[in-house]
Structures are given as structure tokens and as C-alpha cells.
């Protein structure tokens, strides 16, 4: 099964795509959609939507997973993050994909085995599980891959014969 994982953010939205049979995972792609804080919010949301749509069309995942919002520095940050999540959910709906949401705790436990793991620990385990040698310039891409891995291990994935 091919899974797209998304780590939402207004300045950096991470995405990651993996193929999985539920036990072993294979890296397909990952990246970060960057927007400028000086741009109007609607323009930033448009950029994120366009890039997510392109990624979904190019890599054709069968599942879409996103991290739940658990906190924000302030109400304005939470609202902006909710806008980005809305865009991500809309792109999944346009692609005909059901959305699965996971708490940061669930993601960390699935990938690291410890719910209070630090970003660096998550990054190291994602690289290990997916045999990735390249380093990403931010945690957003590896966080998105961690969300995809979480979905792959927690959902009912077709047998290896049905995986890509």
C-alpha cells in the first residue's frame, strides 16, 4: 500500500510517501512545501494546495495520514495551522482518499517506541526504518514520513503480494 503522510505548517508543510506491507516500509519521496511569512495567508494556502495536489497526482497514494493538532503557541497560530490542515484534508478529498489522523504520541510510539521522543530521535528512526541516507534540511519531511509509517503499522494493510 502506498501512504502519504503530511506534517502541516504555515511556513513549512512536510510530506512523505512510503510503500508498505504493514511490517516493512520503503521510502518513495519526501519534501517540504515552503511559504514566506510575508505573503498573505490565502496565497500561502494556495501554494500549499497546489504542491499537495501535484504530489498526490504524481505519486498516487492509496491512503492519506495527517498528524492531529495538539497545541499551538497561541490562538492565532492554532487558527493558521487549522487552515493548513483544512487545505490538506481538501486535497485528500479531491484525490478520493480517506484521511486517518494520529496524535503526536501515537506517531512517536509507532516509530520510536517512546511517546516523549525528541524530533532528532524520530528523524533517526525514520532514516533507519526506511534506509534513507540523505539528510533533509528540516524535520518537517521526516515528521511527515513518521506519520505515514504510523499509519502503515496501525492500519489494516493488504498483504505483501498486494503492495506496490
Q: Which residues are catalytic?
A: 7, 67, 140
Q: Is 36 exposed, middle or buried (0-12, 13-18, 19+ CB in 10 A)?
A: exposed
Check if the beta carbon of residue 133 is closer than 8 Å to that of residue 90.
no
74 conformational bin, left if phi > 0, alpha if psi -120 to 50, beta if neither: beta
Beta bridge partners of 3: 18, 63
Amino acid at each position: 500500500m502506498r501512504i502519504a503522510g503530511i506534517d502541516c505548517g504555515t511556513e513549512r508543510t512536510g510530506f512523505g510517501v512510503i510503500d508498505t506491507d504493514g511490517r516493512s516500509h520503503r521510502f518513495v519521496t519526501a519534501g517540504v512545501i515552503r511559504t514566506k511569512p510575508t505573503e498573505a495567508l490565502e496565497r500561502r494556502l494556495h501554494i500549499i494546495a497546489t504542491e499537495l495536489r501535484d504530489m498526490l497526482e504524481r505519486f498516487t497514494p492509496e491512503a492519506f495520514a495527517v498528524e492531529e493538532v495538539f497545541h499551538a503557541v497561541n490562538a492565532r497560530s492554532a487558527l493558521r495551522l487549522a487552515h493548513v490542515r483544512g487545505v490538506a484534508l481538501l486535497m485528500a478529498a479531491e484525490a478520493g482518499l480517506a484521511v486517518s489522523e494520529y496524535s503526536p504520541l501515537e506517531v512517536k510510539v509507532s516509530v520510536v517506541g517512546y511517546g516523549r521522543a525528541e524530533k532528532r530521535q524520530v528523524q533517526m528512526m525514520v532514516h533507519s526504518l526506511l534506509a534513507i541516507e540523505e539528510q533533509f534540511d528540516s524535520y518537517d519531511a521526516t515528521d511527515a514520513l513518521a506519520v505515514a509509517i504510523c499509519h502503515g503499522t496501525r492500519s489494516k494493510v493488504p498483504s505483501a503480494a498486494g503492495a506496490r
